[in-house]
């Protein structure tokens, strides 16, 4: 057991001052230092620098580690040219991305305060790195394949990866999970089988959904930039599903949909009614020319996520949160900063079904400490100063153990 003291502690009741947290691998108590020391004499005392804020560990719900080698290979600016460039460079990029590179990116995430991430995995290549990294990892085994002819083979490969991630659950901080690539790239028959696997084993479930205008046009009309893409690479000319059929496949099982930038109000209302959530990736959406998700109108829970280095310039959650502040320039900046902190802590934890994300008795002891340059003059601005001034966390605890 340890007691950790910080000038500010971010709890569901707001920023507490003159308080400390007592914890082992879980949070035991939050009280004044005097009360905690009286209750738990002779436990290890940990202090932090002046102006430090203790947050629950930050959560990045959506990242593709296997594309970490991309710097200038992929074409940014518009979705379809980007997807063409992914097809062209995919093999080289995946081959250039070894364990050392992925491990470095896990460390970048850790230094930026990320204690849990959702790894979207197409091939299972990241499993070893995700087993070794100190962070909790929700390991999203991704199903891809629109061609019915290869569906059984692709589904078989997917199930092998699901089982491999299930078998390392005990020895690591991995939670096995299922990801559906997207409506345009997954045949409805294997899609339904994969959703049933998630339901049967109560695994977190995620899917890319309505990322681009081109995707919407393809699913609605079978036209647009995807038409020549499918003709060229897959020798097909009709979409395998439509927006409604895809959405309905997830009915009754809360799913984390990534992007949804091009979803209309009726679709967003349907997702909300079904208990789903959204992973919002502001830099990825901007870099691929996909548009802005109007988060100010969302009636469903959302997180802020980095996506992969295939559509980003860093995996730092602070870089992403600052980008969100800029992209959503209409929103009052202070309340938006507070909402963004909740999006990457309590909301993300609820969405992934993990017992983290809040400084509260009984939660797992995952903490991100950040140190402000000066004493904040107004409590309501702590979230904003946190986002604007932090490049790296000053300390990180996972399961009560210090990693930074």
What residues line the site for Fe ion (CB under 5 A)? 307
Residues of this chain, 226-255, that bind ligand BEZ according to CB under 6 A: 234
- The residue from 146, 277, 303, 345 that contacts ligand BEZ (CB under 6 A) is 146
Listed ranges 5-13, 122-130, 138-146, 325-333: which one lies at the site for ligand BEZ (CB under 6 A)? 138-146
Identify the residue whose tokens are 């930039």: 225
Q: Which residue is nearest to ligand BEZ (CB)?
A: 146
What are the residues facing 55 on neighbouring strands? 368
Q: Report in angstroms how near the CB of residue 15 gets to ligand BEZ at its nearest.
A: 45
Instruction: Enumerate residues 6+ apart whose C-beta is below 8 A from 150.
Output: none
Q: Is 357 in the site for ligand BEZ (CB under 6 A)?
A: no
φ, ψ (nearest 5 deg) of residue 207: -160, 140
Q: Is 344 in the site for ligand BEZ (CB under 6 A)?
A: no
Nearest-angstrom CA–CA distance, 17 and 23: 18
Residue 19: burial class (beta carbons within 10 Å; 0-12, 13-18, 19+): buried
- Residue 6 or 185: the one with the smaller Cβ distance to ligand BEZ is 185
Q: Report in angstroms how near the CB of residue 70 gets to ligand BEZ at its nearest.
A: 16
Q: Is 376 in the site for ligand BEZ (CB under 6 A)?
A: no
Angle at 387 between CA 12 and CA 10, to 5 degrees: 20
- Residue 85 or 147: the one with the smaller Cβ distance to ligand BEZ is 147
Helices vs strands, H then E, count in the chain: 15, 18
Residues of this chain, 185-204, that bind ligand BEZ according to CB under 6 A: 185
Nearest-angstrom CA–CA distance, 151 and 8: 53
Q: Is 144 in the site for ligand BEZ (CB under 6 A)?
A: yes
Q: Which partner in Fe ion, ligand BEZ, none is near 165 (CB below 5 to 8 A by kind)?
A: none
Residues designated as active site: 211
- Residue 235 or 252: the one with the smaller Cβ distance to ligand BEZ is 235
Strand 395-398 to strand 20-23: parallel, antiparallel, or no bridges (unpaired)? Answer: unpaired
φ, ψ (nearest 5 deg) of residue 224: 90, -165
Ramachandran sector of residue 194 (left: φ over 0; alpha: ψ -120 to 50; beta: rest):
alpha
Q: Report in angstroms how near the CB of residue 327 gets to ligand BEZ at its nearest.
A: 26
Q: Which partner in ligand BEZ, Fe ion, none is near 65 (CB below 5 to 8 A by kind)?
A: none
- Residue 63 or 369: the one with the smaller Cβ distance to Fe ion is 63
- Residue 307 or 347: the one with the smaller Cβ distance to Fe ion is 307
Q: Report in angstroms how near the CB of residue 150 gets to ligand BEZ at its nearest.
A: 8
Instruction: Enumerate residues 6+ apart whose C-beta is below 8 A from 285.
Output: 211, 259, 261, 291, 292, 293, 327
Nearest-angstrom CA–CA distance, 169 and 188: 29
Residues of this chain, 12-51, that bind ligand BEZ according to CB under 6 A: none
Listed ranges 141-149, 160-168, 171-179, 198-206: which one lies at the site for ligand BEZ (CB under 6 A)? 141-149
- Residue 151 or 336: the one with the smaller Cβ distance to ligand BEZ is 151
Q: Report in angstroms how near the CB of residue 142 gets to Fe ion at its nearest.
A: 9
Q: Report in angstroms how near the CB of residue 192 gets to ligand BEZ at its nearest.
A: 16
Quick one: DSSP state of residue 75? P
What are the Cα distances from residue 171, in Å, to 102, 131, 134, 354, 400?
Answer: 20, 8, 12, 17, 17
The CB density around residue 394, as the number of other CB atoms within 10 Å, is 18
Q: Is 145 in the site for ligand BEZ (CB under 6 A)?
A: yes
Using CB under 6 A, list all residues that contact ligand BEZ. 144-147, 184-185, 234
């Amino acid at each position: 057991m340890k007691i950790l003291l910080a000038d500010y502690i971010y709890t569901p009741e707001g920023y507490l001052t003159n308080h400390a947290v007592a914890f082992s691998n879980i949070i035991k108590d939050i009280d004044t230092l005097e009360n905690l020391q009286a209750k738990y004499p002779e436990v290890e005392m940990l202090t932090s620098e002046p102006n430090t804020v203790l947050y629950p560990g930050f959560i990045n719900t959506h990242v593709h580690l296997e594309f970490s080698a991309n710097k200038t290979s992929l074409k940014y600016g518009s979705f379809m040219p980007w997807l063409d460039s992914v097809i062209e460079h995919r093999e080289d990029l995946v081959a250039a991305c070894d364990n050392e590179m992925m491990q470095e990116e896990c460390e970048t995430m850790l230094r930026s305060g990320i204690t849990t991430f959702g790894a979207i995995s197409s091939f299972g290549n990241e499993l070893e790195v995700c087993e070794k990294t100190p962070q909790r990892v929700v390991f999203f085994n991704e199903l891809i394949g629109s061609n019915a002819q290869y569906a059984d083979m692709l589904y078989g490969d997917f199930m092998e990866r699901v089982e491999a991630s299930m078998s390392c659950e005990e020895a690591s901080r991995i939670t096995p999970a299922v990801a559906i690539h997207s409506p345009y790239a997954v045949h409805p028959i294997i899609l339904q089988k994969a959703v049933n696997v998630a339901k049967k084993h109560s695994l977190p479930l995620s899917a890319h959904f309505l990322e681009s205008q081109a995707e919407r046009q393809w699913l609605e009309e079978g036209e647009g930039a995807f038409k020549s893409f499918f003709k060229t690479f897959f020798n097909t000319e009709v979409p395998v599903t439509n927006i409604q059929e895809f959405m309905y496949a997830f009915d009754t099982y809360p799913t984390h949909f990534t992007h949804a930038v091009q979803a209309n109000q009726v679709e967003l209302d349907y997702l909300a009614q079904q208990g789903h959530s959204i992973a919002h990736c502001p830099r990825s959406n901007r870099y691929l020319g996909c548009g802005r998700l109007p988060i100010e109108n969302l009636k469903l829970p959302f997180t802020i996520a980095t996506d992969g280095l295939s559509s980003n310039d860093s995996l730092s959650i602070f870089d992403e949160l600052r980008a969100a502040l800029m992209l959503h320039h209409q929103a009052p900046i202070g309340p938006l900063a507070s909402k963004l902190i909740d999006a990457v802590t309590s909301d993300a934890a609820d969405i992934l079904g993990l017992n983290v994300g809040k400084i509260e008795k009984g939660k797992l002891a995952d903490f991100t400490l950040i140190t402000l340059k000066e004493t904040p003059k107004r409590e309501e601005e702590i979230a904003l100063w946190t986002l604007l001034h932090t490049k790296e966390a000053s300390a990180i605890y996972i399961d009560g153990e210090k990693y930074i």
